[in-house]
A and B are shown apart, each in its own frame.
Chain A
Amino acid sequence: MDAILQTRGLGKSFGHFAANADIDFAVQPGELRAVIGPNGAGKTTFFNLIAGTIGATSGSIAFQGRDVTRTSGTHRVHLGIAKAFQTANIYPSQSVRQNCRLAALAHVQGAFALQVVRRSNRLGRVDELAEQAMSRVDLGAQADVRAGDLSHGDKKRLDIAIALATEPQILLLDEPVAGMSKDEARKTEGLVKRLASEMTVLIIEHDMELIMGISDSITVLHGGRVLASGTPAEIRASAAVQEAYLGGHTAQEILE
């Protein structure tokens, strides 16, 4: 099968510092792929390159066979690349429903529409998409709550719902359980699993237990380059990965 997302020789330099270099990477449709690596490995830079938050300095990115290297972040959303942020990025003063409606509105109307008189509730599809997105992340019961009043975990799930309301082909999740309690993290883990059965998911996460448990495959970044790629079992057994993370010792040795 053709990859849904593919990078070739992708690189990003800030001055002389190469945050990402020579990244060849491919995700198959329907896959749940994790990107891991020690702090400073370039995971966030890589994510931002894929989402279009920052531009690449070398290499290319293709999405569904189409070169999107120079495509703006806004336009990539319309092609089907949606992102949930590391720190929940929502509209705090608006209701949970309106947060999702706005994303659905962007999807239905396009990047810009000079509709200075018509109201968005005339577009039935907007409400439909918003309701679906809310129920998929289990926030339907809190539809009328002010988003800023939600708990930390719910805010991060709302951020995911906002991404879902744009009907993405691939969902980028930047540390979806960061800062969550055990219970909240478990709830989000279940959500990520459910979503992965419906679409392609690319996830960055520090929680190794979570990553090893849910991923189809893992890419390890180190020093801005791909260190290893493989199934969770392969990554667990990789000497190179152990070297990068644990300085050559096995997890067993460190614990002893």
Chain B
Amino acid sequence: MTATTTSPTTTPVRATMRGSDLRFLLLTAIGLAVFPFALHLIGGYAGLATQIVIVSVATIGLNVLLGYAGMLSYGQAMFFGGGGYIAAILLIHTMPNHPNLWLAVLGATLATTVLALLVGAVSVRLYGIYFALLTLAFAQMVFFIVEQGKDLTGGDDGLQSFPVALLALGPWNLDLTTALPALALGPFGNLGDIKLWYVFAAVVLLAVLWFVRALTRSQFGEVLDAIRENEERSVFVGFNAAAYRLAAFAISGALTGLSGSLKALYDGTVAVDSLTIERSGSFVIYAVVGGVQTLFGPVVGTAIIMYLENVLSGVISFWQLIEGLIFVLAIVFLPNGIVGTILKRRRGARALVDAVRVP
């Protein structure tokens, strides 16, 4: 994101901001409402839409770090899996009789934020490959601890059959596994099996997108941009670069932990595969394919790769080879990712129009 120059007259700027906020929320909400139907048309099952929406939040979390702070974390699984385990453990041990989804999810998010602050305090002073390797090492430590802590975590078996958490909303206690009425799509058959879960996950994603959009335009995002572009100068105009990098790491950990906790509650199970190197790497692939430094890139990348995995892994047995190939092709041919490339083309076209129009 390049910070745009701002005019000193703030009032009209703020007025148009509100309009664009509204348009953003509306268009994104429509897109999310249409998404499961579009996915159904190309052969994705209903639950896949929910999973994509949930996992997107983790990819967005990585993008805050990779795209906006310029730090490549290869240990995001510690937050994703960590969030899942903490939510499950909270449900099993603290509220077996009144499983509250808010408490489980917020507790998990808070815990992964603290984990990110602790890991970040050690790692954010390192750069590039050293930072990536240190986050990877921490993630491996978390993996090992969870795998060994059988009494609490179930070891290799993971945790299953924990209480179904209910969503407390005013007077209601919603069971998100409730199916929505099946929708007839004319010649395309019926779209059944969409659960209330999808609606909830979509609202969470919308809120996260709004937050990250605001963040990139905020004072904080502006400084993050500055530090990414020239850290030495930023330090010598008076910014505490390490504190900013730590804050970005914590926000990233929080979003990834939120995503992981939702995924565990949706699946009704959490296992050690959510803490692996492959899991960490998948977020990097999703973000890069979709386009880092873009708001929707992480969502698009997550959707495309998860869809392809779902369709192809049933047909061919070497899905991970295909996934790797897509990653390589994206880096070589679309270094800005899918969304980044589209935006760049549009910017290029607009620049062309401007160049012609200027007398």
List the interface of chain A (C-beta within 8 A of B): 51, 53, 73-74, 77-78, 82-83, 85, 89-95, 97-98, 101-103, 105-107, 109-124, 127-128, 131, 143-144, 162-163, 165-166
How far, in angstroms, from A165 to B223 measured CA to CA in the complex? Answer: 15
Does B247 sit within 8 A of A, measured CB to CB? yes
A106-B239, A107-B238, A162-B237 known; A117-B215 Cβ under 8 A: yes
The answer to whether A98 and B3 touch across the interface, beta carbons within 8 angstroms, is: yes
Q: Which B168-222 residues have a C-beta within 8 angstroms of A?
A: 211, 214-215, 217-222
- Report B215-252 residues with CB < 8 Å from chain A CB: 215, 217-223, 226, 229-230, 232-241, 243-244, 247, 251
17 interchain pairs, CB-CB under 8 A: A74-B236, A74-B239, A74-B240, A90-B233, A91-B229, A98-B3, A102-B226, A102-B237, A105-B223, A106-B239, A111-B239, A118-B219, A119-B218, A120-B6, A121-B8, A127-B8, A128-B8
Chain A hits for B237, CB < 8 A: 77, 82, 102-103, 106-107, 162-163, 165-166
Q: Which residue of A lies closest to B217 (CB)?
A: A119
Point out the residue from A83, A102, A106, A121 that lies within 8 Å of B6, measured CB to CB. A121
Q: A103-B237, A115-B220, A121-B7 are in contact. List 19 more A-B contacts (CB 8 A).
A: A74-B239, A85-B233, A89-B233, A90-B230, A90-B233, A91-B226, A91-B230, A94-B2, A94-B3, A98-B5, A102-B234, A106-B234, A112-B240, A114-B220, A115-B219, A116-B251, A117-B211, A119-B222, A121-B8
Q: Closest residue of chain B to A123, judged by CB?
A: B219
Tell whether B141 is near chain A: CB-to-CB under 8 Å: no
Chain B, Cβ-Cβ closest to A159: B233
Residue in A82, A91, A98, A112 whose beta carbon sits within 8 Å of that of B243 in the complex: A112
Any A CB within 8 A of the CB of B317: no
Q: Report the nearest B residue to A84, measured CB to CB.
A: B236
Main secondary structure, interface of B, reads helix
* Distance A129 CA – B223 CA, assembled complex (angstroms): 17
Q: A73 to B229, Cβ gap below 8 A?
A: no
Roughly how many angstroms separate A73 CA and B214 CA in the complex, as a whole number?
30
Q: Count chain A CB atoms within 10 A of each CB in B6, B218, B236, B240 and give the residue with the most.
A: B236
CB-CB nearest 6 A-B residue pairs: A106-B238, A77-B238, A111-B240, A115-B219, A103-B237, A121-B6
CA distance A102 to B13 in the complex (A): 19
A118: chain B residues at CB < 8 Å are 218-219
CB-CB nearest in chain B for A162? B237
A73–B2 contact, CB under 8 A? no
* Contact indicator B236/A83 (Cβ below 8 Å): yes
Give min CB distance, A125 to chain B, whole Å. Answer: 11
A111 near B238: Cβ-Cβ < 8 Å:
yes
Is B238 touching A91 in the complex (CB atoms < 8 A)? no
Closest B residue to A107 by CB, please name it: B238
Report chain A residues within 8 Å CB of B5.
Answer: 95, 97-98, 101, 143-144
The distance in angstroms between the C-alpha atoms of A93 and B5, with both chains bound, is 12
Within 8 A of A (CB), among B1-42: 2-3, 5-8, 10, 13
Given known A-B contacts A73-B236, A113-B220, A166-B237, A124 and B215 have beta carbons under 8 A apart = no
CA distance A91 to B236 in the complex (A): 12
| Assembly CA distance A169 to B235 (angstroms) | 18
Contact B214 A102 (CB under 8 A): no
Beta-carbon contact of B236 and A89 below 8 Å: yes
Closest to A75 in B: B238
Which of A105, A112, A122 meets B10, CB within 8 Å? A122
**Hey, which chain A residues are within 8 Å of B251, CB to CB?**
116
> Closest approach, in angstroms, between the C-beta of A253 and any C-beta of chain B?
43
User: Beyond A105-B223, A121-B10, is A114–B233 a contact (Cβ under 8 Å)?
Assistant: no
Contact call B220/A116, Cβ cutoff below 8 A = yes
Residues of B within 8 A of A113 (CB): 219-220
Complex CA–CA separation, A85 to B247 (angstroms): 28
Query: Which B residues touch A95, using CB under 8 A?
Result: 5
Residues from chain B with a CB closer than 8 A to the CB of A165 are 237
A109 touches B240 (CB 8 A): no
Q: Are B236 and A102 closer than 8 Å at their CB atoms? A: no
Q: Chain B residue with minimal CB distance to A51?
A: B236
Residues from chain A with Cβ under 8 Å of B240 in the complex: 74, 111-112
Query: Which of B217, B218, B232 is close to A89, meaning CB atoms less than 8 Å apart?
Result: B232
